[in-house]
């Protein structure tokens, strides 16, 4: 009874390496691509279908492969076409259609071994285990001269098929063989799945003393991954194992951990859905703008043509020295004005390039020195310092990435290419979304973060620029906050204005530094005391975006006490 309950409730990993998730993906079928490029360009529908196939656009692939087949291509092109159609149907989980397409492929097809691999996976998915074993055996016999394939996944799937046929000795033999290959290749995610499946094989035979160590191995490995789904399954397995061993205290610990990873997975999915929705809205707005601009361009083109004709006729009628002189004077004034503006922009550009190039050079130099130390420590097997050096490298890379992202946003803003849409935004939820993305950075310095923004707090702001502002200010707060510090986001309301306060207990600033940061200047400033990567571009970008959002900006800080950044947004 114990094993029946376990078999039902333990989350299996049996299909983690099924054929159509091959994960090898053949580097997007690089050899396949070389063959396609040698085909005559007159097969335009076939070429288009391959283009969409590489982009994972399965519906478009099916449309153009259908058109390509209507042209009655030769056997070689027909094989490729049926393969792409079968693979596309498989991705859409239309397995019956996949099988019908694969039946039209000749066994002499250069990629026929992939057909066998996919058919084996489909049979496994449809619980036709004996048929799956047959396909896998044919696959293994057909790839004797091919090395670029995932050997462990095929062996693993053979083990799963034998497990479902209750041939436990065969199943454990193949699964252990697959795990050994994965251990050698350091394929952690698949290795966790193999450990779970091996454990279940022995668990089904009541060999708990052999099964439980594999569950424990899978659990320990899962703690080193960032995949919430794998963590959740490993924790659930251990919870059930401890329940069956009557150790309810340990079981409860694993259950709580399982719920934690389950919640993290759900939160991640929710934030992803919100981001996708926001992306769709932004795309729709851009498409509307493009249509409007096309209409305006047509109107301007017509007006320009009319103006050219009128100007030509007017020039013929009114050629005179006076008009020429006036026109020349206007042109000179325009040129002079543009020259002054261009000189100012060039000064800003030169200073920006100077600062950015200096900081990028410093960060690359720092990475080179750090990597040299890393290589020496690896050679000397000094593993104690490897983690510290790797964390420093990650911090430097993160700071350099933030610098480049701010530079891109600054350039977009300076060329008036950024799109602003002021609307009602719920501030608490925005902070919550950004907090989720910054959790690794907080954990890296053991910083305690708290979102104390009142809920709900609706403000009038452009959501994209608001996120840029908050991310930059949090980056600065993390940068200047020591290990085990605290950062918080708070809000308060006053006279139809909602104030966002980002507070830390970091290094703080003196009055002179605060005055320089609040000063309006078209050029960038570099903080003299700053030791990390930075140009002052982030705070300048924030000030510009805050002004465009009709918001106020203020700083309160004390040396060694901490800093408060206060932004006042119009209340919705």
Domains of the chain, each with CATH number or no CATH? 320-572 (3.30.565.10)
- For residue 498 the two structure tokens come to 């909602």
Cα pseudo-dihedral 348, 354, 356, 360, rounded to 10: 170
What's phi and psi for 439, nearest 5 deg? -55, -45
Q: Is the pTM of this model over 0.95?
A: no
Q: One digit per residue, pLDDT tens: the chain, 572 residues?
A: 333 333 323 333 333 333 334 444 444 455 455 555 555 445 788 888 888 999 889 999 999 999 888 888 888 889 999 999 999 999 998 989 999 999 999 988 888 888 888 998 898 888 888 988 888 888 888 776 555 567 788 888 888 888 888 888 888 888 888 888 878 888 788 888 888 888 888 888 888 888 888 888 878 888 887 777 777 887 788 788 878 877 778 778 777 877 877 666 555 555 555 556 666 777 777 778 888 888 888 888 888 888 888 888 888 888 877 787 888 888 888 888 888 777 766 766 665 565 566 556 556 666 666 677 677 777 776 666 666 667 666 666 666 666 666 666 666 666 666 667 888 888 888 888 888 877 877 887 888 888 888 888 888 888 888 888 888 888 888 888 888 889 999 888 888 888 989 989 888 888 888 888 887 765 544 544 444 444 567 788 788 888 888 888 888 888 888 898 899 989 88
What is the spatial distance between Cα 23 and Cα 176, in angstroms, rounded to a whole number?
A: 20
Residue count (the chain): 572
- Closest Cα to residue 565, out of 504, 495, 513? 504
Residue-wise over 98-130: b if at least 16 C-beta within 10 A, else e?
bbebbeebeeebebbbbbbbbbbbbbbbeeebe
- For residue 166 the two structure tokens come to 């209750």
């Amino acid at each position: 009874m114990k094993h029946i309950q376990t078999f039902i409730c333990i989350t299996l990993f049996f299909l983690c390496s099924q054929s159509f998730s091959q994960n090898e993906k053949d580097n997007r079928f690089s050899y396949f691509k070389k063959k396609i490029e040698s085909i005559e360009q007159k097969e335009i529908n076939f070429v288009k279908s391959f283009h969409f196939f590489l982009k994972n656009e399965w519906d478009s692939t099916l449309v153009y492969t259908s058109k390509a087949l209507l042209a009655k291509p030769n056997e070689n092109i027909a094989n490729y076409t049926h393969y792409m159609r079968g693979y596309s149907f498989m991705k859409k989980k239309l397995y019956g259609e996949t099988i019908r397409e694969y039946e039209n492929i000749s066994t002499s097809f250069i990629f026929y071994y992939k057909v066998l691999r996919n058919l084996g996976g489909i049979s496994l998915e449809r619980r036709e285990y004996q048929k799956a074993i047959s396909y896998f055996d044919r696959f293994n016999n057909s790839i004797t001269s091919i090395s670029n394939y995932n050997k462990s996944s095929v062996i693993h799937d053979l083990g799963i098929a034998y497990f479902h046929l209750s041939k436990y000795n065969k199943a454990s033999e193949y699964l252990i063989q697959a795990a050994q290959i994965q251990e050698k290749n350091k394929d952690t995610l698949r290795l966790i799945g193999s450990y779970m499946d091996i454990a279940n094989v022995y668990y089904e035979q009541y060999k708990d003393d052999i099964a439980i160590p594999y569950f424990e191995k899978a659990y320990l490995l899962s703690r080193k991954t960032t995949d919430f789904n794998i963590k959740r399954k490993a924790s659930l397995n251990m919870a059930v194992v401890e329940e069956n061993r009557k150790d309810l205290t340990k079981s409860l610990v694993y259950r709580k951990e399982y719920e934690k990873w389950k919640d993290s997975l759900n939160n991640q999915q929710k934030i992803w859905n919100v981001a996708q929705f926001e992306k769709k809205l932004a795309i729709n707005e851009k498409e509307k703008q493009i249509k409007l601009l096309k209409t305006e361009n047509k109107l301007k083109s017509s007006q320009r043509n009319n103006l050219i004709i009128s100007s030509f006729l007017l020039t013929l009628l009114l050629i005179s020295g006076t008009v020429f002189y006036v026109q020349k004077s206007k042109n000179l004034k325009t040129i002079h004005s543009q020259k002054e503006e261009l000189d100012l922009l060039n000064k800003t550009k030169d200073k920006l390039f100077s600062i950015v190039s200096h900081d990028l050079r410093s960060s690359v130099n720092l990475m080179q020195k750090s990597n040299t130390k890393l290589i020496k420590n690896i050679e000397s097997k000094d593993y104690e310092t490897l983690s510290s050096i790797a964390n420093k490298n990650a911090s430097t890379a993160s700071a350099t990435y933030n610098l480049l992202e701010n530079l891109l946003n600054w350039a977009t803003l300076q060329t008036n290419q950024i799109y602003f849409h002021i609307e009602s935004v719920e501030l608490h939820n925005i902070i919550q979304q950004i907090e989720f993305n910054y959790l690794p950075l907080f954990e890296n310095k053991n910083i305690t973060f708290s979102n104390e923004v009142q809920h709900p707090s609706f403000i009038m702001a452009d959501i994209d620029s608001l996120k840029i502002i908050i991310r930059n200010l949090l980056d600065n707060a993390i940068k200047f906050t020591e290990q085990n510090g605290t950062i918080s986001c708070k809000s308060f309301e006053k006279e139809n204005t909602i104030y966002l306060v980002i507070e830390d207990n970091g290094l703080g600033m003196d009055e002179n530094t605060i005055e320089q940061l609040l000063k309006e200047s078209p050029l960038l400033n570099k903080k003299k005391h700053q030791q990390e990567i930075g140009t002052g571009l982030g705070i300048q970008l924030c000030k510009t975006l805050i002004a465009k959002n009709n918001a106020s900006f203020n700083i309160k800080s004390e040396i060694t006490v901490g800093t408060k950044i206060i932004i006042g947004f119009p209340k919705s």
